[in-house]
């Protein structure tokens, strides 16, 4: 999508988001950290301290004085450095667009400065606020009407792996950057609530754009880590047909070992380098500690001892095999009873159950049979 207009109006927002048009976010870093768009990069006009100063001047002396102060703060070498970064971004993303909070002063100023350097970059009318409201409306409109097939199963059945093989899938845990259990934390943490909601809405637009057909989503509770699912989606998840993946305990232990231990360590080593194993070990200890009350004192101490033995052996030899002992006990004694209890309330929704290959065959037959409701 080539953007040549000086402004992008609200009726272009869906196409902007569906095409993944690169976006330059000119808000202050603290504003960006509270929520942004998936395809955005933050190169602010004003940093947090400068924005604070301009805000105080506005309250004390009005808009003209605030604008004058802003130009003073972003002048000389500071202006040159920031303008150079914006120009580099515009050169790398000629199809891109810029925005600030409301599409007003900040994006207008940067647009003018870029134009003076020969870069014609459109700005988004209404800024981030308008985009955010648009995406909230998308979720409210689409989430209750999604033709969902909910993928359930015990912990370790590889449901996330199956989702990754399905184009028409909604990976809520991937968007939330959390695997959904006490051991589900990911390096770098989760996005802020607004960022999660924005990314979710963009995915809903993509799924709608694919046309009629069922959408596969993993069975989730109201919360994924510290993030809450939108009410419009929770109600749909609670009533949609349920497809269960079934594997033996031994197979689930191997999947859990690969996805949480082997992959978990690799993720942290990629982020932390030599400190990766220490961070990995602390993450496992913290997760076990957070479920201590549900495990009970004796069982928690037993599992913690098995975990410490496994970490000691892994640190000395690099072999993660000893983790199988505590994983087996945790799945059989903690996660499976909890799953059985929850499944009893969902039994009437089950339309298919089987091993992964059979589930995939069933889903392949179902995916083209349902559509968005009018």
What is the set of active-site residues?
100
Give the DSSP letter string of 303-343: HHHHHHHHHHHHHHH---TTHHHHHHHHIIIIIHHHHHHHH
CA distance 47 to 29: 6
Q: Taking Cα atoms as reference points, which of 43, 56, 48, 54 lies closest to residue 105?
A: 54
CA distance 95 to 5: 11
* Structure-token pair, residue 235: 């109600």
Which residues contact residue 179 at a Cβ distance below 8 angstroms, ignoring those fewer than 6 apart? 160, 173, 185, 186, 259, 260
CB atoms under 10 Å from CB of 108, counted, come to: 14
Three-state SS for 92?
helix
CB atoms under 10 Å from CB of 336, counted, come to: 16
> What are the backbone dihedrals phi and psi of residue 319, each rounded to the nearest 5 degrees, phi first?
-90, 120
> What Rg do the C-alpha atoms of the chain give, in angstroms?
25
User: CB of 203 within 8 A of CB of 170?
Assistant: yes
Q: How far is CA 326 from the centre of its chain?
A: 29
> What are the backbone dihedrals phi and psi of residue 350, each rounded to the nearest 5 degrees, phi first?
-70, 125
Sign of CA pseudo-dihedral 357, 358, 361, 363: negative
């Amino acid at each position: 999508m080539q953007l040549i207009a000086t402004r992008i109006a609200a009726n272009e927002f869906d196409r902007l988001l569906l095409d993944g048009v690169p976006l330059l976010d000119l808000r202050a870093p603290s504003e960006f950290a509270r929520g942004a768009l998936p395809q955005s990069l933050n190169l602010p006009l004003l940093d947090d301290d400068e924005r604070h100063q301009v805000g105080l001047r506005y309250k004390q002396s009005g808009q003209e004085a605030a604008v004058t102060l802003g130009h003073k703060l972003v002048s000389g070498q500071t202006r040159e450095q920031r303008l150079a970064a914006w120009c580099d971004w515009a050169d790398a993303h000629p199809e891109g667009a810029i925005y600030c909070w409301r599409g007003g002063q900040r994006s207008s100023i940067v647009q003018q400065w870029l134009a003076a350097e020969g870069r014609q970059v459109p700005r988004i009318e209404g800024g981030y606020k308008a985009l955010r409201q648009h995406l909230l409306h998308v979720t409210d409109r689409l989430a209750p009407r999604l033709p969902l097939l909910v993928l359930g199963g015990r912990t370790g059945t590889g449901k996330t792996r199956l989702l990754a093989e399905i184009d028409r899938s909604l990976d809520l845990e991937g968007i939330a950057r959390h695997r959904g259990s006490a051991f589900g934390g990911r390096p770098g943490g989760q996005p802020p609530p607004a960022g999660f909601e924005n990314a979710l809405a963009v995915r809903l637009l993509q799924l709608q754009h694919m046309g009629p057909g069922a959408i596969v989503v993993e069975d989730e509770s109201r919360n994924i880590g510290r993030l809450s699912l939108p009410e419009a989606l929770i109600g749909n998840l609670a009533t949609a047909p349920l497809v269960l993946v079934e594997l033996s305990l031994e197979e689930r232990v191997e999947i859990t070992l690969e996805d949480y231990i082997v992959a978990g360590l690799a993720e942290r080593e990629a982020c932390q380098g030599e400190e990766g194993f220490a961070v990995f070990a602390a993450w496992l200890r913290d997760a076990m500690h957070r479920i201590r009350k549900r495990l009970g004192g004796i069982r928690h101490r037993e599992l913690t001892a098995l975990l410490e033995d496994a970490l000691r052996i892994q640190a000395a030899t690099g072999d993660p095999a000893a983790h199988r002992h505590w994983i087996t006990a945790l799945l059989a004694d903690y996660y499976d009873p909890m799953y059985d209890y929850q499944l009893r309330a969902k039994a009437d929704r089950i339309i298919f159950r089987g091993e992964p290959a059979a589930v995939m065959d069933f889903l392949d037959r179902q995916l083209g049979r349902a559509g968005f409701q009018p």
